[in-house]
Amino acid sequence: MRWVGDGAPLDLAQCEYWIEVTKRNYETYGYGMFALVERAADTVVGFCGLVHPGGQREAELKYALCRSAWGRGLASEAAAAMLAIASSAFALDRVIATTAPENTASHRVLMKAGMHRGAIIHEEDGTETLLFAWQAGEPEGQPRIAS
């Protein structure tokens, strides 16, 4: 949770709200968040999916993993799988992701998954957000600036 919101775990009311938002995403777009389950232990270790925060037009890739699941390639595997089905299953031709500029671990995950680093967005609250983008049909490894 270090890089998610304020870093604090969600309380029960926030979890219930998050589930309702997820249900609405599935009803509206046909997709949303997916649980990430570690097969060997049959344990939920995180989530990954496509959302439209604040009703934004473009789908945004989001993911988070329990600390015990960090460093094993699970985030890269989940992000790549989500982008692979974005076009084929959901008819999306562009997906974005946003990170804190100093969250270099997520930068590596997103680039491994096929996204390209883009501009830094200066937020109204004085913080900065780094934009990444994926475009359907774009050759892997092709350097490109996300806009």
pLDDT digits (tens, 9 = 90+) for 82-121: 999 998 999 999 999 999 999 999 999 999 999 999 999 9
Q: In the predicted model, what is the mean pLDDT of the chain?
A: 86
CATH number at residue 108: 3.40.630.30
Residue 39 CB-half CA count within 13 A? 1
Lowest mean pLDDT among 2-11, 75-84, 108-117: 2-11
For residue 2, report the phi and psi dihedrals to the nearest 5 degrees: -50, -40
Distance CA 114, CA 132 (A): 10
Is residue 2 a part of any domain in this protein?
Answer: no
Is residue 82 a part of any domain in this protein?
Answer: yes
Is residue 146 a part of any domain in this protein?
Answer: no
User: Which pLDDT does position 26 carry in this prediction?
Assistant: 93
Neighbours of 131 (CB within 10 A): 19
User: Which pLDDT does position 144 carry in this prediction?
Assistant: 42
Residue type, 83: L
Rg (CA), the chain: 15
pTM of the complete model: 0.83
Q: Name which of 4, 29, 26, 27 is nearest 14 in CA terms.
A: 4
Is residue 140 a part of any domain in this protein?
Answer: no
User: Which pLDDT does position 68 carry in this prediction?
Assistant: 83
Q: Name which of 20, 79, 71, 72 is nearest 47 in CA terms.
A: 79
User: Which pLDDT does position 36 carry in this prediction?
Assistant: 92
Is residue 147 a part of any domain in this protein?
Answer: no
Is residue 141 a part of any domain in this protein?
Answer: no
Q: How confident is the model at residue 29 (pLDDT cuts 50, 70, 90)?
A: very high
Number of structural domains found in the chain:
1
Distance CA 121, CA 97 (A): 12
Determine the structural domain holding residue 44 and report its residue range.
Answer: 12-135
Q: Name which of 74, 78, 70, 73 is nearest 50 in CA terms.
A: 78
Is residue 5 a part of any domain in this protein?
Answer: no
Q: Name which of 48, 54, 59 is nearest 81 in CA terms.
A: 48
Residue 145 has pLDDT above 60, yes or no: no
Distance CA 117, CA 119 (A): 7
Is residue 46 a part of any domain in this protein?
Answer: yes
Distance CA 92, CA 76 (A): 20
